[in-house]
Amino acid sequence: MAKNIKLEIVTPDKAVVSEEVQIVMAPGALGEFGVLVGHTPFLTTLKVGIVRYVEADGQERRVFVSGGFAEALPDKVTILAESAERRRDIDLERAKAALERAQKRLAEEARKEEVDYTRARAALERALQRLRIAETRRREAA
């Protein structure tokens, strides 16, 4: 059996990752899961969070995903997400600004009915996860 699996991470706009990898770890709705070659097929929804994978040469990579779906097959993992960015492509200042905007909306929520609480919470979660992944980039570069 082949040693690697094909990982595809796609959004409506673009293919973010298309690579042969050794292992994929993803934030499933019921908890983080790992997929190695030969895994039993399954389908799951994803939480907002970080997909980690190890490339064929042993290098670990991280990608932000805004939730979505994952399909695991014995030789392939496909992730469909509304948005996704490789760690190196995350714009830190943009994520900080999004976090501040969401925090402001949530603070207003108690006073104003027109604030969409669910939407603001989701935006907050995306910003926090982007900042979390970008933080590991800064730590590892140091």
Site for ligand ATP in 2-31 (CB under 6 A): 13
Q: What is the residue type of 138?
A: R
Indicate whether 48 belongs to the interface with ligand ATP (CB under 6 A): no
Contacts of 43 (CB under 8 A, 6+ apart): 69, 70, 71, 72
**Burial class for 96, CB neighbours closer than 10 Å (0-12, 13-18, 19+):** middle
Output 36 or 115, the one with its CB closest to ligand ATP: 115
Instruction: Measure CA 10 to chain center.
Output: 11
- Least distance (Å) between residue 50 CB and ligand ATP: 14
Indicate whether 105 belongs to the interface with ligand ATP (CB under 6 A): no
Among 27, 50, 66, 129, binds ligand ATP (CB under 6 A): 66
Indicate whether 129 belongs to the interface with ligand ATP (CB under 6 A): no
Instruction: Measure CA 24 to chain center.
Output: 12
Q: Residue 87 is inside which H or E element, if any?
A: none
Report DSSP state, residue 11.
Answer: -
Among 9, 63, 79, 95, binds ligand ATP (CB under 6 A): 95
Indicate whether 51 belongs to the interface with ligand ATP (CB under 6 A): no
Report DSSP state, residue 92.
Answer: H
Among 39, 47, 105, 126, binds ligand ATP (CB under 6 A): 126
Indicate whether 85 belongs to the interface with ligand ATP (CB under 6 A): yes
Token pair for 96: 């900080």
Indicate whether 103 belongs to the interface with ligand ATP (CB under 6 A): no
Binding site for ligand ATP (CB under 6 A): 13, 66, 83, 85, 89-91, 94-95, 98, 123, 126, 130
